[in-house]
Amino acid sequence: MAQTKTANATPQKRTPRTLAGHVVPVADEGRVHVLKLYEAALKLMQEGKYEQAHVAFNGMLSTAPPELGHSIRMYVNACLQQVAKGKTNFQSHEERYDYAISLLNNGNYADAREEFKAILAANDSADYAFYGLAVLSSMTGETHTCLEHLTEAIRLNAKNRIQARSDSDFQDMADDPRFTELLYPEA
């Protein structure tokens, strides 16, 4: 009986195959660069940053390999649809505030901050927007910014001091003596 030696044989790496035959990998630096841009744009879409993704896809459309052109155009259209869908019109600042709070509660801190700032851009004496920014800053660990916004909210409306005393969103601030002094100045 003849025995074959397989213990010392080294495995050979196979080239990928398709129905059309062997695929020859292309080591073109331009193609690799475009594929990295494509992946980065897809990541932006996954993060919900549709405007940035739209700009990225549009930028690579003219230099992309032909087989990616259709996909890029499809993603450009998807980005445009998402951007159009994301435009929210508010009847009042209070509606925008409610929307900002919902963003905050869902962990969309950057978007919530933008909404609070939009309220303040339209009405710089909106104490509730300063209060919302204070809560946001507390939740994101920005102690100094939290104190600044809460101080302004209390200056504009003293009822915010009472509200903040029982607001669990400020629990991370409870040990800060500046926070205690702000909420209990008479003590």
β-strand partners of 62 = none
For residues 65 and 26, what is the distance between their CA atoms, to the nearest angstrom? Answer: 12
103/178 same-domain check: yes
Structural domain contains residue 9? no
pTM attached to this predicted model: 0.56
108/79 same-domain check: no
Structure tokens at 30: 């331009």
78/106 same-domain check: no
31/48 same-domain check: yes
How many structural domains are present in the chain?
2
67/102 same-domain check: no
35/115 same-domain check: no
Structural domain contains residue 120? yes
71/142 same-domain check: no
Residue carrying structure tokens 């932006």: 44
The tens digit of pLDDT for each residue in 8-54 reads 556 666 666 666 665 555 557 777 888 888 899 999 888 888 888 88
Structural domain contains residue 10? no
130/169 same-domain check: yes
69/101 same-domain check: no
In angstroms, how far apart are the furthest CA atoms of the chain? Answer: 100
110/170 same-domain check: yes
Query: What CATH number did the domain enclosing 105 receive?
Result: 1.25.40.10
Domain interval for residue 146: 93-183
The set of residues, in sequence order, having a beta carbon less than 8 Å from that of 16 and lying 6+ positions away, is 22, 23, 25
Of 86, 121, 136, the last residue of a domain is 86
Average pLDDT, 10 consecutive residues per value, the chain (187 residues): 56 64 62 85 88 87 80 87 73 87 90 92 93 94 94 95 92 90 84
CB-CB contact of 30 with 37 (8 Å) = no
115/170 same-domain check: yes
Q: What distances in angstroms separate CA 28 from CA 25, 32, 68, one per listed residue?
A: 9, 6, 15
The dihedral through the CA atoms of 100, 106, 108, 109 has a sign that is positive
pLDDT of residue 30: 75
